[in-house]
Amino acid sequence: MTYRVIVWATGAIGKTCLRAVLQRPDLELVGLFVYSERKEGVDAGTIARLAETGVLATRSREEILAIDADLVIHTARLQVPYETHDDDIIALLRSGKNVITTAGNHYPQAHGAERARRFDDACHEGNSTLYGVGMNPGFLLERMVLGLTGLCVELEAVEVEELLDASTMPDPDFVFNVMGMGSDIGEVDLFTGALPHLYDQLYGEAIQFFGDRAGVTFDQIESDHRVLPAERDLHVSAGVIAKGTIAATEWRWHGIVDGQRFVTLSVIWTMDPTMETYRGRDHWSVEIHGKPDLHLTLNMSDPKESPFKTKAGQYITAGPVMNAIHDVVVARPGIFSPPVFAPYRRPRD
């Protein structure tokens, strides 16, 4: 069976997904949404650096909504506030299109019944399904680490750390405004400001999903963030990070159960991977404390031979999207939650 697919946005992840769609015989590209005036009217194949397709990029939301499609791959860039893309996603769902998004909404239930109900109602109105996925959040804690806990007879605590080099990210708006790089350290509010609020919502979904599947109720989710200054002027893909301004962000959350840290998720992005504190560390590291203790490290590398400039980080985000298409399309209407077989689940008293 061939699925009719729309790709929404052609940034780094969107373009990676677009190429994957065009190269799969079981998928037919029927629409392409772009935000850039420069890309409007351009053939999707040209944007993907592949053969022309006859599908022209559009900036018209109404045009996309009118297309008969099985699925929209929604890769709009994460924005402040977190709810920026809600109306677009809900409109797509109501129009009868399943949606896989990389812009949050991995577990809307984490924010309460009202937020989840908005998406669920749209799904049932359009007979459609919503799935939010990526590497982290979306895969790392919710699927890989949760699955690993199934090896434990007892589980005491889980620590997960991501450390990524962000110096090759090309989008200045994302790097300086959404990531907060290059900002004056003294002007950044790490606890009540717009950026921590954005990431508290985004990664809080992963932590809550993990807790719900592990059968625990969090007392609270505590934040523990810090930033580090550039040790020198950094000339990165997005521009210049001046010495003394923010060159690394460490976002960290602890899910507290019975007064103890049950799950810790650390997300570290640096514009200078040569900094002493980061040099030689793994991309992802996992420590599971229990019976038995488990230790996992995961690293990625760019393809050695490719006609494109696609980085490993783009592939590792696009992969969970592309591999979920069939399951999302055939799923019942509503918010899709990935099945994880037999993780550790705390016994009830």
pLDDT at 349 over 80: no
Is 62 within a domain?
yes
pLDDT at 308 over 90: no
Mean pLDDT computed over 171-175? 91
The dihedral formed by the CA atoms of 143, 199, 12 and 66, expressed in degrees to the nearest 10: 90
pLDDT of residue 256: 98
Nearest CA among 65, 70, 40 for reference residue 55: 40
How far is it, in rounded angstroms, from Cα 226 to Cα 253? 11
Question: 103 and 188: one domain?
Answer: no
User: Tokens at residue 102, please?
Assistant: 């990389």
Interval 245-266: pLDDT, tens = 999 999 999 999 999 999 999 9
Whether the bond into 333 is cis, omega within 30 of 0: no
Question: 150 and 222: one domain?
Answer: yes
Number of domains in the chain: 2
Is 80 within a domain?
yes
Residue 40: what residue type?
E
pLDDT of residue 29: 98
pLDDT of residue 329: 98
Q: Which of 36-40, 301-305, 312-316 has the lowest mean pLDDT?
A: 301-305
Question: 113 and 236: one domain?
Answer: no
Torsion region of 275: left, alpha or beta (phi above 0 gives left; psi -120 to 50 gives alpha)? beta
Question: 125 and 272: one domain?
Answer: no
pLDDT at 1 over 90: no
pLDDT > 70 fraction of the chain, expressed in percent and rounded: 100
Is 100 within a domain?
yes
Q: Which of 58-72, 89-103, 246-260, 306-320 has the lowest mean pLDDT?
A: 306-320
Question: 57 and 40: one domain?
Answer: yes
How far is it, in rounded angstroms, from Cα 237 to Cα 311? 13
What would the DSSP string read from start to end of 169-228?
Answer: ---HHIIIIIS-TT--GGG--TTTSHHHHHHHHHHHHHHHHHHHHHT---SEEEE--EEE
Is 316 within a domain?
no
Average pLDDT, the chain: 96
Mean pLDDT computed over 81-100? 98
Is 313 within a domain?
no
pLDDT of residue 166: 94
Residue 97 CB burial class (10 angstroms; 0-12, 13-18, ≥19): buried
pLDDT of residue 120: 98
C-beta separation of 241 from 176 below 8 A: no
Question: 73 and 210: one domain?
Answer: no
Strands 234-236 and 239-241, how do they pair?
antiparallel
How does residue 307 score in pLDDT terms, banded at 50, 70 and 90? confident
Question: 259 and 182: one domain?
Answer: yes
Question: 156 and 188: one domain?
Answer: yes
Degrees to nearest 5, angle at CA 13 with 8 and 16:
95
Is 261 within a domain?
yes
C-beta separation of 160 from 145 below 8 A: yes
Question: 266 and 164: one domain?
Answer: yes
How does residue 304 score in pLDDT terms, banded at 50, 70 and 90? confident
Strand ordering across the sheet containing 334-335: 27-33, 3-8, 71-74, 98-101, 129-132, 334-335
Mean pLDDT computed over 167-195? 90
176: domain range?
140-306
Question: 296 and 182: one domain?
Answer: yes
Interval 280-301: pLDDT, tens = 999 999 999 999 999 999 999 9
User: Tokens at residue 157, please?
Assistant: 């605590």
Is 340 within a domain?
no
With H, G, I as helix, E, B as strand and everything else as coil, classify residue 47. Answer: helix
Q: Residue 158 maps to which CATH number? A: 3.30.360
Is 228 within a domain?
yes
List, in order, residues 6 or more apart from 232 with CB less than 8 Å away.
243
Interval 100-127: pLDDT, tens = 999 999 999 999 999 999 999 999 999 9
